[in-house]
Every structure is written in structure tokens, then in C-alpha cells.
């Protein structure tokens, strides 16, 4: 039995045309950008504690200290308070040896729940600073 040779059709290669450089953004697009909050009113050294692993928050605190911040505030509400305490203790004992706890604020917030009910949620703010920078 003889086998048939299969022939392939050759398609001519297309030459790529150089693409035009991207257009500069119009003035209208520049005006639509959201305005940045002034640096003085924006709290840059605050870490909000949520449901992520503790190490994520420790790394966030270390990043603030490495970027030149003198102090960092860790804020948490409700069940996340224990995670905030774990974050500070891990930071103090393992990563930043000369860390001093400057301030601990505790409080309660009233939160509206479903069907108009209100409940109290505990809050905590812990401010830590490097010992040499007061």
C-alpha cells in the first residue's frame, strides 16, 4: 500500500508594521483622576487587623519601620483584638527587639445589626515605637 504525501499550504508571512507610540493622556483624563488626600491628614502608619494570618500584619508593621516611620499604630475590633495582640508580641519578641509600647487605647463602638438592632463591639489601638525614637 502506498502512502499519500500530505502537502501543506504555505501561507505568506505578514510583515509587521511598526505600531504607533501610545498617545499622551488628554487633559480631560487627567482631570478625572481622584484627588489624593494630603499627607498630613492621611494616617500612614496604621495597620488595621482583620482575618488574615498574623504574619501578614507583622510584615506590614516591619515595612512601616523600614520605610522610616518612628511609630506604628495597630487597630482591631471584636474577635480580631487577640490577633492584634499576637502581632505586637511577635513583632516585639522576634523581629524588632528595641520596640516599646507607647499607648494602648480600648473602647466600645455601637454597631447597627440586621433588623435595626444595635450591639457593642470592643475596639483596641496599640501604638508602638522604636525605643531610640521618641
Phi, psi (rounded to 5 degrees) for 51: -100, 0
pLDDT tens column, 103-112: 999 999 999 9
Residue with cell 487633559: 27
Indicate yes or no: pTM above 0.85. no
Q: Where are the domains of the chain?
A: 43-130
What does the alpha-carbon distance between residue 42 and residue 13 come to, in Å, rounded to a whole number? 56
pLDDT-derived band at 25, boundaries 50, 70, 90: low
Domain boundaries 43-130, CATH class: alpha beta
What does the alpha-carbon distance between residue 85 and residue 126 come to, in Å, rounded to a whole number? 8
Cell numbers linked to 119:
450591639
Amino acid at each position: 500500500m502506498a502512502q499519500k504525501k500530505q502537502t501543506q499550504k504555505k501561507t505568506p508571512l505578514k510583515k509587521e508594521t511598526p505600531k504607533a507610540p501610545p498617545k499622551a493622556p488628554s487633559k480631560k483624563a487627567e482631570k478625572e483622576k481622584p484627588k489624593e488626600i494630603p499627607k498630613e491628614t492621611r494616617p500612614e502608619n496604621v495597620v488595621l487587623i482583620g482575618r488574615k494570618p498574623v504574619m501578614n500584619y507583622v510584615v506590614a508593621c516591619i515595612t512601616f519601620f523600614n520605610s522610616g516611620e518612628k511609630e506604628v499604630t495597630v487597630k482591631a475590633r471584636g474577635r480580631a483584638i487577640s490577633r492584634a495582640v499576637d502581632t505586637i508580641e511577635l513583632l516585639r519578641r522576634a523581629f524588632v527587639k528595641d520596640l516599646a509600647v507607647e499607648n494602648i487605647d480600648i473602647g466600645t463602638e455601637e454597631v447597627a445589626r440586621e433588623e435595626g438592632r444595635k450591639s457593642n463591639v470592643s475596639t483596641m489601638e496599640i501604638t508602638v515605637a522604636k525605643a531610640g525614637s521618641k
